[in-house]
Structure 1
């Protein structure tokens, strides 16, 4: 929910259950202001657009993190990428407090259609973080993802909510993994049980690797060595994509323990992501 909404009542609705800053970017030259648009009827189905007229710059859709349960503020990084040549579409979607899965994916797909229509049919790039990284890799793999998006960069993507649920249940699991386990279960709406077919099918659908195909979009998947969302989320996805025939996929691990948008503050990561996106624009 973008931070400059013109209507106070709508702003209050959008900020519930709370906005937190996901990362604080470095300085950007002449950061552009954003304009808010709606791509659906729900208060959270909004996009804030930064930088340039449609089709004159490569389009970049940003999907925020927040455990599918809260909004996080990406306006700073949206301006940073806009100042470096992108038309940035900072996108919100319904949270688990608003609707059950697959509503979140449906929102992202609807937002992508809105962006493509505004961009004259051009497929956008996508940058997602954590839970937003999960939605980004879903957009890249669900159906024929490459027909929908040009490429996806995902920071700490929760590519397998089932893995997150399982990891959070290990004895002695740290608090952040336990919290993510609960968030994944709220997203699915049930506990994973192979004997409960409907529930198990939902957990399978939530796993991006289950949708991997040759026609999926190129992907850059980044974790830190100490990330509480471990790199196995991305290496498993990358393996499934390669087996399906998609060769333009890179799972990268960087030093430290940064998670999600904070990875962009790690040495060289923002530049690497920027150059990777530019190379596929």
Structure 2
């Protein structure tokens, strides 16, 4: 029944022009807060299952997910491509506050818990939403592509000899996000770093279902997600799955390899 609804909603995401051609309804960008980055771009039919996209970019830059948003809207979701303050705008936990404020706005537009799709740093934010407090009461499920589920692990990896340029950048931007060096400052700094990690907030059955995807040579390695999934399972979570692909694709580049897998998971959990 749910899949039938999704198919019908997909058809409603398009309009007929006067010439009879099918044209996509124009997306709308709406503020959910006072900062210029606190905006949501909405795609798809009102009443379709809500799906939130949180972009990556080292917490330091924007990324365009409009193509994926349109693709998912055409398959029956009401998609909310959500921006948030970057680490040059505000330090953690401002980004958590932005996501939660956006989810409150979305709840008024699309009643019911949304699904989340997050990439890289956006995957960290999506998993934070899924685990902070009783995450399952806030969101229906999370797909995370290369999520930085353990920013401290990224900090350590970025400081190793032979670290890639991407790993060094992630270490630098993580420090900017938190505002301190976890290995040289006191317990207050360390508590902010641990607060970033999804595993810190894992609560088993109270958390949302998760599909966590990496490549084997991802500069955010699968250990970020396997540690989180193991912690969730120890606490009784029954729907935390890690998939590891061949290659070195990261974040958005993974989406082209797993788009149908992601779509099936989203439909199942909608």
TM-score (normalised: structure 2): 0.90
Higher gyration radius (CA): 2
Unaligned runs of 5+ in 2: 1-21
Deviation at 1:193, TM superposition (A): 3.3
Inter-CA distance 46–195: structure 2 relative to 1 (3 Å threshold)? closer
Q: Aligned equivalents of 1:128 and 1:171: distance in 2?
A: 29
Q: Structure 2 residue aligned with 1:117, among 108, 111, 128?
A: 108
For 2:63, what is the secondary structure of its paired residue? strand
User: Could you tell me which residue of structure 2 aligns to residue 204 of structure 1?
Assistant: 194
For 2:128, what is the secondary structure of its paired residue? helix
User: Could you tell me which residue of structure 1 aligns to residue 68 of structure 2?
Assistant: 77
**Contact 1:193–1:199 (Cα < 8 Å) also in 2:** no
Q: Structure 2 residue aligned with 1:46, among 39, 44, 64?
A: 39
Q: Which runs of 4+ in 1 moved over 3 A?
A: 29-32
User: Could you tell me which residue of structure 1 aligns to residue 133 of structure 2?
Assistant: 143
Unaligned runs of 5+ in 1: 1-28
Matches within 5 A, 1:13-52: 31-52=24-45
Deviation at 1:33, TM superposition (A): 2.3
User: Could you tell me which residue of structure 2 aligns to residue 178 of structure 1?
Assistant: 168
Q: Aligned equivalents of 2:232 and 2:184: distance in 1?
A: 24
CA offsets per residue over residues 51-70 of structure 1, 9 Å max, x none? 001xx211000000000001
Deviation at 1:119, TM superposition (A): 1.2
Q: Aligned equivalents of 2:23 and 2:82: distance in 1?
A: 22
User: Could you tell me which residue of structure 2 aligns to residue 86 of structure 1?
Assistant: 77
Inter-CA distance 165–33: structure 2 relative to 1 (3 Å threshold)? same
Q: Aligned equivalents of 2:261 and 2:152: distance in 1?
A: 29
CA offsets per residue over residues 70-96 of structure 1, 9 Å max, x none? 100001110000001000000000001
**Does 2:269 align with 1:276?**
no
Q: Structure 2 residue aligned with 1:95, among 70, 86, 89?
A: 86
Q: Structure 2 residue aligned with 1:257, among 243, 248, 261?
A: 248
TM-score (normalised: structure 1): 0.86
Deviation at 1:32, TM superposition (A): 3.9
CA offsets per residue over residues 196-240 of structure 1, 9 Å max, x none? 110000011011100000200000000011111000000001011
Matches within 5 A, 1:194-273: 196-214=186-204, 215-266=206-257, 269-273=258-262
CA offsets per residue over residues 116-156 of structure 1, 9 Å max, x none? 11112x00000000000000000000011000000000000
Q: Aligned equivalents of 1:250 and 1:158: distance in 2?
A: 16
Q: Aligned equivalents of 1:81 and 1:30: distance in 2?
A: 16
User: Could you tell me which residue of structure 2 aligns to residue 8 of structure 1?
Assistant: none
**Contact 1:33–1:79 (Cα < 8 Å) also in 2:** no
**Contact 1:32–1:79 (Cα < 8 Å) also in 2:** no
Q: Aligned equivalents of 1:232 and 1:186: distance in 2?
A: 23
